[in-house]
Structure 1
Amino acid sequence: MNIYAIADLHLSSDGSKSMEKFGWTDHENKIWQDWNNKVQDDDIVIIAGDISWALKLDDGLKDLEKIANQKGKKILIKGNHDFWWISIKKLENFNENMFFIQNNIYETNDYVFCGTRGWTCPNSEHFSEQDKKLYEREVIRLQTAISLAKSTQKEIILILHYPPTNEKKERSKFVDLIEENNIKTVIYGHLHGSQSFDLSYKEMVNNVHYHLVSCDYLNFKLKKIF
């Protein structure tokens, strides 16, 4: 079993949103082609948020079906643009090979997957009182998710959408929780464009391996985690 990850697919089956203006030429086909070249049925693919541009679940189902048709078991987490994701109950039975992370965990023989969306961290540019409320709420959600995962006594793979620090790479409560709980693998996306890719942790920091998996950072290819 291999574990891969990617984020920010920004699918738009109805054609209402195009990523061409950002230079993402034919990006969906590039992702699916690489996926088919790498992934086998017993592999896992983590999708770390911003899955579809759809605003309503009915519209997002076509994008989810595209993912369901790919090989492997998929583990998905909500991003800041996933407005279609309003109820975990409506997603739980969508497809037997798709698992949606929200106040729950997913286990294999060796690993347990958990996470939350995350949010903009303090001292970020334009950080507001509303951001502070959302940040504190996500910290609580992350703490709950980690506690649930630790009960399995398996190695934790932590999935976020937002980076766990600000553009100054200062510590946050997310980072504190990661290090306090001896988590070694963190996957996140959200950052786009070459000027933003170095604004958060990448590779090893304090014995934690942070994986930035925004699809444009990966040149629209899946990253092998394990």
Structure 2
Amino acid sequence: MRIFAIADLHLSFNKDVTLYDIDAEKDQYKPMDVFCGWERHFDKIRDNWLQSVSENDTVLIPGDISWAMKLEQAVHDFRWIHQLPGRKVMSPGNHCYYVTTKKKIRSVLPESMEWIDGDYTLVGDYVVVATRGWILPQDADWDETYDRKIHDRQVGRLNLALESARKDHPERPVIAMLHYPPLTTYAPDSDFFHVLKQYDVELCLYGHLHGNAHRTAINGEVDGIELRLVSCDYLNFNLLRVR
């Protein structure tokens, strides 16, 4: 079994569609043409996925899976992903407005798909934890009054997920899924990263960064933790094999 990752699929189907039966003229999806390189990006994801992933593999998807505002709309996107091979482990991003509770999300997911948020699952020899994360205090958009509470709550959720994973599976290596980056070139330290280090996380996957923001990403090993940006436009809509 191999483990792949890709984030920020940003799907937007408004009805159930097959992998190939997608016609823009029928208004079946929200066009992403306003963003350079995103024209019919789902075709690129589909083709690269089919070339890389087998039914025995697992794909980790840390956030921004669907543009849907309501869960009944997001289901169309989940069903499209379900048609692709492999097990899919997903977690929330900042645009996952359809998310209310884990129970409701899990109740509508097809069999090949799993949702984790503030908790963990097992993938082969690894334990995989996830939470959304948040912007960092060094971010230009940081608002202490608004962002601090959310930031601290997300740090706490990451800590609880890792604490539980380590308690139940102390010998397994850990992969963490965040949507927001735990470090950037303008924020070389963070509370999220301290928690990752505390629990000896081996690999942290994150998304969220697009376009010019790719330049702020940190990829590679930092203090023994491997960081990987896996937003789909950064990967040119390929999947990154991470293990």
* Shorter-normalised TM range: over 0.9
Task: Give % identity.
Answer: 37
Q: Is 1:147 equivalent to 2:163 in the alignment?
A: yes
1:8 aligned partner: 8
Alpha-carbon offset, residue 147 of structure 1: 0.5
Q: TM-score, normalised by structure 1?
A: 0.96
Mean alpha-carbon deviation: is it higher for 46-55 or for 195-204? 195-204
Match for residue 97 of structure 2 among 79, 83, 88: 83
Deviation at 1:16, TM superposition (A): 5.6
Shift of residue 204 of structure 1? 1.3
Partner of 1:202: 219
Q: Which residue of 2 aligns with 1:212?
A: 229
Deviation at residue 117 of structure 1 after TM alignment: 0.1
Distance 2:46 2:184 in 1: 31
**123-132 or 113-122, larger mean C-alpha shift:** 123-132
Deviations 1:98-147 (A, max 9, x none): 11012321113410010100000112102112111110110000100111
Unaligned runs of 5+ in 1: none
CA gap of 1:167–1:127, structure 2 versus 1, over 3 A, is farther
User: What TM-score, normalized to structure 2?
Assistant: 0.89
CA positional deviation for 1:198: 2.5
Q: Deviations over 1:48-96 (max 9, x none)?
A: 1000000000011000001111110000000100111212112224222
Distance 1:108 1:29 in 2: 27
Quote the residue 1:19 is aligned against. Answer: 32
Q: Does 1:117 align with 2:132?
A: yes
Give 3-state SS (helix, strand or coil) of 2:90's partner.
strand
Matches of 1:108 and 1:69, distance apart in 2: 20
The residue that corresponds to 2:114 in the other structure is 99
Name the stretch that deviates more: 55-64 or 83-92: 83-92
Aligned residue for 1:197, secondary structure, equals helix
Letter in structure 2 aligned against 1:96: E
Extract unaligned runs of 5+ from structure 2: 15-27
Mapped to 2, the partners of 1:104 and 1:183 lie a distance apart of 14
Counterpart selection for 2:123 from 100, 108, 128:
108
Query: 2:199 — aligned with what?
Result: 181
Q: CA RMSD in A?
A: 1.3
C-alpha distance in 1 between matches for 2:218 and 2:149: 23
**Cα distance per residue 1:143-196 (max 9 Å; x no partner):** 001111112121111000000125513211001111121111000000000x21
Partner of 2:25: none
Detail structure 1 runs of 4+ shifted over 3 Å in the superposition. Answer: none
In structure 2, C-alpha distance between the alignment counterparts of 1:219 and 1:86, rounded to whole Å:
31
